[in-house]
Amino acid sequence: MAEKKLEGRIALVTGASRGIGFAVARRMAEEGAHVVALARTVGGLEELDDIITEKGGKCTLVPLDLRDGDKIDALGASLYERFGRLDILVGNAGILGELSPVGHLPPKLWEETFSVNTHANFRLIRSLDPLLRQSDAGRAIFVSSEIAQEQRPFWSLYAASKAALEALVQGYAAEIGNITNIRANIIHPGPVATAMRAKAYPGEDQKKLNRPWDITDRFIEMASSNFNENGTIVRL
């Protein structure tokens, strides 16, 4: 039997009810991690739980809307009571917002997109940093996009929220790199066949793209205790 690369680790994955988050959570469970799966969609979480438990894995479901900052703030204490630490944080959840000229964007949509893509990850770091410090090798991975570093018309909302996320994560990495066992990094998955991608590119043939499962190897590598890069952007 092949060695499980994340045996005994505690891993929290946001946006775990579908797409990349679903695949990463499933793969981490197969590699021996106890997965804490967080998402709004209860049905998707239950499907994930069925798959993981059927294969003998361990999963804890956390139905939570990342726009609810108070619940994120309370998450750290709840996980500490249950596990005493957190080894892996995957900040995957995100929303596209709307592809639109800047002047046509509704302020409410701007605020909602930043709330999920940026502010929620700030509150996750704030809430879970003490638990990651309890790990012998805390690993935080945040999903962004190459669009954060490009200037594309009509993509300003999504790009700005992801650029802010990258600045946040790299600042956090600079703070913890020399004084803790935590490593915080960013991943650009590239084109992947997801519902968000279909919304952004409705005429695209998704059969020609990577499936979410196809990119999980890199997440496992970045989550492992021997991955020591910090503050970097890993591009697939």
108-138 pLDDT tens trace = 999 999 999 999 999 999 999 999 999 999 9
Q: What is the mean pLDDT of residues 216-231?
A: 98
Report if residue 200 sits inside a domain. yes
- Show the domain range for 198: 10-235
Is 4 inside a domain boundary? no
Percent of the chain with pLDDT over 90: 98
Per the domain annotation, does 199 fall within a domain?
yes
Asked whether the whole model's pTM tops 0.95, one would answer yes
Residues 149-175 have a mean pLDDT of: 97
Whether the per-residue pLDDT at 1 is higher than 80: the answer is no
Query: Is the per-residue pLDDT at 22 higher than 90?
Result: yes
Give catalytic status of residue 158 as yes or no.
yes
CATH label of the domain that carries residue 49: 3.40.50.720
Which whole number is the average pLDDT over 40-53? Answer: 97
Kindly state whether residue 98 falls inside one of the protein's structural domains: yes
Report the pLDDT value the prediction gives residue 3, as an integer from 0 to 100: 86
The catalytic residue among 80, 158, 172, 201 is: 158
DSSP character at residue 192? B
Tell me if 2 is assigned to some domain.
no
What is the pLDDT, as a whole number, of residue 230?
98
Number of domains in the chain: 1
